[in-house]
Structure 1
C-alpha cells in the first residue's frame, strides 16, 4: 500500500502547466511541521507535491502561499537525465485529495 497523509502550508503559489493532452498540472511545496523539534534541527520538512486534472485546477484557483491544507496521496519516485548528462532522482507526493485545514479568516 502506498498512502501518504500530510498537513502543512504552501511555501508559494502552485506552478501551473498544461500537457499535450490539455491536462492541468500543479506543482507546489508543502511545509510540514515536525512533531518533535530538536535543538539545532529544522522545524519543518519541505515536501514537493504534484496534482493533476481537477485537483490541479483546484490548486490553481484556491491555493496560495501560506494556505494550510490536508493532503492525501501517494509517493512517486522517478528520474531524468540533465543536459550535462547527470542522472537526477526525484521523489514527490502525487495529491489525490486535498482540503482546507483551517478557515479563511484564520
Structure 2
C-alpha cells in the first residue's frame, strides 16, 4: 500500500512573508496562515495556525505578492523537524511545505502594480527542468 502525505488549507496570512536564502543561494519563504474552524451555532469561533514554507521560484513569488491578511489556498505536505531550543532542550515542530499556492481575492503587497482581482497558481512541478 502506498503512503500519502498531502494537506490542503485555505486561510489568511497572519504576518508578511519572510524571504531568506540558504548558503547555496536557494530562496526559501516562510509565513503563517490562520484557518477558521467550522463551528456550530452558539459556539465560540476559533482558528488553527499553520507555519508554511516554500522554496525556489515559488518562494520568491510568494514573498513578492503576498502580505498579511491575504487569503490563500495551500497544497503541500506536512514535515516535521527537530531543533535545539535556547535552553538546550530538544524539540520538534511540524510545518507545511507548500508545492502550490493559489492567491484568492484581492490583496498582496502595496507595491503591486495591478489592483485587479487575481487567482494565481504556482506549481513546483512546472519549475523542474526535466
CA distance in 2, matches of 1:46, 1:3: 17
* Uncovered stretches (5+) of structure 2, i.e. residues with no partner: 108-115, 118-130
Q: CA deviation at 1:27?
A: 0.8
Matched, 1:30 2:58: no
For structure 1, which segment, 46-55 or 29-38, has the greater mean C-alpha deviation from structure 2 after superposition?
Answer: 29-38
Matched, 1:52 2:55: yes
Aligned-residue CA RMSD in angstroms?
1.7
Task: List per-residue Cα deviations over 1:33-84 (Å, max 9, x = no partner).
Answer: 11225734x5211111111111110111000000101010000001111243
Larger radius of gyration: 2
For structure 1, which segment, 45-54 or 96-105, has the greater mean C-alpha deviation from structure 2 after superposition?
Answer: 96-105
* Uncovered stretches (5+) of structure 1, i.e. residues with no partner: none
Equivalence for 2:125? none
Equivalence for 1:96? 99
CA contact (8 A) 1:3 1:72 kept: yes
CA distance in 1, matches of 2:73, 2:85: 33
Equivalence for 1:39? 43
Equivalence for 2:110? none
CA distance in 2, matches of 1:81, 1:71: 28
Matched, 1:8 2:17: no
Paired residue total: 105
CA contact (8 A) 2:70 2:106 kept: no
Q: Which has the higher strand share?
A: 1
Equivalence for 2:77? 74
CA distance in 2, matches of 1:93, 1:33: 17
CA distance in 1, matches of 2:98, 2:85: 26
